[in-house]
């Protein structure tokens, strides 16, 4: 295979051209019965030799601090090449296929901070070709795999040890299970899993609510757990070490969502979820509903067929490039997140944090990749979105995506990300220093004890019953935590489901950000100006509003769980008034001009709800405040960006 980075040379050793989608063609002598290829013989069947296929890559100019970029332009040594010239060179290469261009062609958007990326090319090439392109770029081009993204949805993790052993024969038995509700009605479409034996077994109940699973092993005593996940409207079920029969059906009864306090009569009688109540949304004045704020939910779409979501009228299918198919949510994940953020008034179902916010549904799943997420953020920049919910993750950091996240932040867009559900280190993009990372917590007695939600309880339960979710990722990158266990919200077509995940925690904070931007005095007047300062001001106010929950350390919960009343400037957490005033005084920087206590700066009394003197906050807009103590450095201009999108050691 030719290794020249300039392109235009044949790929194969004999000059055989490559198919753009299928990768290198085998030499003609290796095809059919007459060519054996590597290790082949005359008797080999006809076909094409398996070789490396072309993978999708992202190519974008390397962003650099403005000073370095200006120096590079003067010296002519380090300046990244114009994207147009890179694209033309790639199109001239016979072994590279340019798929599309995403992002901006502008430069200098960042002023005295970081220079903008001049767009991103998406191209298919082999790994060898990508490495040659990196070498030719001499650090001026980012060339990285266009990795696939995944929704952050935790799944049962049994067995915990995985090895290469697979049982292909030996003893086996069958277990029949029937899933019903408490009235005996049979439930179709429920997912049933058995753990233990030599390997797990799973299936789905039929129209009679029954499923028969084949388990490899000697007897039912080898089964360590049975898990039932209903399609909608019921709580899940989990039983450790179940007593199962093989000679008759085993009946499992599920609780309806409406039969578990505090949701009596649900969904015909509307309610707020436990997460909204834990964050004191139920005490926020009725008129603070996020009017005028734009929120993007980059996810699997939003089912506008749902009564709680029929106010969602804007969106785009990033994958299918269609203006209407964003309303088709085959996974339900995006609809569930959108319900937490902006579910309609509780005359039916669950009310969200910001029912009057303008929701934009950017459909990225199933099948989303980094390149499409960059496109989705470009949509957000073009439509002047204020807050983006990212309940998703990748296999690792992306420098190209980091540049787009930073560009969005400079445009005044706050990205709020789920920390991840692996139970390990915070996943990317939540690990980015330019987003707000949200971990998940649960609360005892907010779900049936025989549901799978009980398996998420850790030993750090505090006096109020809050605990860190066992699946939640942790680390110094965690900013805050939010309810993410047994979260009831909307799923297609017009139903409800109780799900777990940092995917469910992040929308609680995203939803809270909307009334903050719409109604908090810090974002009125000049405070409305879209900028990175506005984003950091929002993040700091969210952190400042949080109260400690669980008995875990800050790597699991960050600053704690945000309080809606405090976040909106309507109250100060008990016992924290002095600390709150000091933190907010630091945030406001030179507004008062003298560093005086906030009460003297016009803040008025802050002893209780509604006691804030708003007059002293009129000068908040557009201030350039100093960096504050916290888990992340502030100050974009001095931000020591590194191409992997990671914090330097010690952050």
DSSP string covering 488-546, please? EEEETTTEEEEE-SHHHHHHHHHHHHHHHHHH-GGGSGGGGS-SHHHHHHHHHHHHHH-
Max Cα–Cα distance, the chain, nearest Å: 92
Q: What is the distance between the terminal CA atoms of the chain, rounded to a whole angstrom?
A: 43
Number of H helices, E strands in the chain: 12, 25
The Cα 48–Cα 31 span in angstroms is 6
Q: Is 299 part of the annotated catalytic residue set?
A: yes
Q: Which of 300, 503, 545, 552 is catalytic?
A: 503
CB 489 within 8 A of CB 276: no
Distance of CA 566 to CAs 386, 505, 553, Å? 21, 19, 22
Q: Is 503 part of the annotated catalytic residue set?
A: yes
Token couple for 215 = 């388990």
The Cα 542–Cα 585 span in angstroms is 15
The Cα 579–Cα 545 span in angstroms is 11
Token couple for 71 = 């120096």
Q: At what angle do helices 532-545 and 399-410 cross, to 10 degrees?
A: 90
* Short-list 142, 193, 150, CA closest to 452: 193
**Structure-token match 């479409």, residue found:** 189
The one-character DSSP state at 271 is B
Q: Is 57 helix (H, G, I), strand (E, B) or coil?
A: strand
To 5 degrees, how large is the angle CA 470–CA 283–CA 558?
A: 30
CB 202 within 8 A of CB 192: yes
Which ranges constitute the DSSP H helices of 213-359?
274-278, 333-342
E strand or H helix that includes residue 466 = strand 466-468
Beta bridge partners of 215: 173
Omega of the bond leading into 592 within 30 degrees of 0 (cis)? no
The Cα 220–Cα 197 span in angstroms is 8
CB 501 within 8 A of CB 154: yes
Omega of the bond leading into 493 within 30 degrees of 0 (cis)? yes
Q: Which of 11, 299, 386, 563 is catalytic?
A: 299
Q: Is 85 part of the annotated catalytic residue set?
A: no
CB 471 within 8 A of CB 500: yes
* Short-list 504, 470, 441, 480, CA closest to 560: 480
CB 541 within 8 A of CB 516: yes
Q: Where are the beta strands (DSSP E) in 343-465?
A: 358-363, 387-390, 392-393, 414-418, 436-443
Side-chain-side CA neighbours of residue 274 (13 Å): 23
Q: Which of 69, 255, 333, 520 is catalytic?
A: 333
Residues forming the active site: 299, 333, 503
């Amino acid at each position: 295979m030719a290794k020249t980075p300039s392109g235009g040379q044949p790929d194969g050793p004999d000059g055989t051209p490559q198919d753009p989608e299928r990768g290198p063609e085998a030499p003609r002598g290796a095809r059919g019965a007459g060519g054996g290829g590597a290790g082949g013989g005359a008797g080999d069947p006809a076909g094409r030799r398996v070789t490396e296929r072309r993978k999708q890559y992202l190519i974008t100019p390397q962003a650099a601090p403005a000073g370095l970029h200006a120096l590079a332009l003067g010296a002519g040594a380090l300046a990244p090449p114009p994207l147009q010239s890179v694209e033309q060179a790639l199109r001239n290469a016979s072994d590279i296929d340019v798929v599309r261009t995403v992002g901006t062609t502008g430069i200098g958007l960042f002023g005295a901070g970081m220079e903008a990326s001049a767009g991103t090319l998406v191209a298919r090439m082999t790994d060898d070709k990508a490495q040659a392109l990196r070498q030719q770029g001499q650090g001026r081009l980012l060339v990285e795999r266009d990795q696939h993204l995944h929704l952050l949805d935790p799944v049962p993790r049994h067995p915990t040890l995985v090895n290469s052993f697979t049982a292909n024969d030996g003893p086996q038995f069958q277990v029949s299970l029937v899933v019903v509700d408490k009235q005996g009605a049979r439930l179709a479409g429920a997912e049933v899993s058995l753990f233990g034996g030599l390997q797990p077994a799973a299936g789905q109940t039929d129209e009679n609510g029954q499923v028969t699973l084949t388990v490899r092993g000697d007897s039912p005593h080898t089964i360590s757990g049975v898990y039932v996940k209903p399609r909608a409207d019921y709580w899940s079920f989990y039983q450790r070490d179940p007593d199962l029969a093989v000679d008759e059906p085993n009946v499992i009864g599920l609780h309806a969502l409406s039969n578990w306090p505090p949701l009596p009569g649900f969904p015909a009688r509307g309610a707020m979820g436990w997460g909204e109540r834990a964050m004191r949304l139920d005490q926020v004045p009725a008129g603070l509903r996020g009017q005028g704020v734009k929120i993007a939910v980059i996810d699997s779409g939003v089912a506008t067929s749902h009564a709680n979501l029929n106010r969602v009228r804007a969106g785009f299918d990033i994958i299918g490039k269609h203006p209407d198919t964003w309303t088709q949510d085959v996974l339900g994940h995006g609809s569930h997140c959108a319900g937490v953020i902006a579910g309609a008034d509780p005359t039916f179902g669950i009310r969200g944090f910001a029912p009057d916010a303008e929701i934009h549904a950017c459909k990225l799943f199933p099948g989303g990749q980094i390149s499409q997420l960059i496109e989705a953020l470009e949509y957000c920049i073009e439509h002047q979105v204020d807050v983006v919910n990212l309940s998703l993750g990748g296999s690792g950091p992306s420098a190209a995506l980091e540049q787009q996240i930073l560009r969005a932040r400079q445009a005044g867009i706050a990205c709020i990300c789920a920390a991840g559900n692996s139970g390990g280190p915070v996943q990317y993009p939540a690990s980015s220093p330019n987003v707000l990372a949200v971990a998940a917590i649960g609360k005892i007695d907010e779900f049936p004890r025989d549901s799978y939600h009980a398996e998420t309880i850790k030993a750090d339960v505090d006096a109020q019953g809050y605990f860190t979710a066992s699946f939640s990722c942790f680390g110094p990158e965690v900013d805050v935590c939010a309810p993410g266990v047994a979260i009831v919200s909307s799923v297609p077509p017009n139903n409800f489901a109780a799900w777990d995940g940092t995917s469910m925690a992040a929308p609680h904070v995203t939803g809270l950000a909307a009334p903050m931007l719409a109604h908090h005095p810090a974002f009125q007047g000049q405070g409305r100006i879209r900028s990175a300062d506005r984003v950091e001001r929002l993040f700091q106010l969210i952190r400042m509003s949080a109260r400690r929950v669980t008995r875990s350390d800050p790597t699991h919960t960050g600053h704690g769980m945000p309080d809606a009343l405090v976040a909106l400037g309507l109250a100060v957490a008990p016992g924290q008034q002095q600390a709150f005033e000091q933190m907010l005084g630091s945030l406001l920087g030179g507004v008062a001009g003298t560093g005086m206590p906030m009460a003297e700066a016009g803040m008025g009394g802050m002893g209780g709800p509604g006691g804030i003197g708003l007059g002293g906050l009129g000068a908040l807009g557009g201030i350039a405040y100093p960096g504050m103590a916290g888990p992340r450095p502030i100050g974009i201009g001095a931000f020591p960006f590194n191409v992997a999108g990671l914090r330097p050691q010690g952050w």
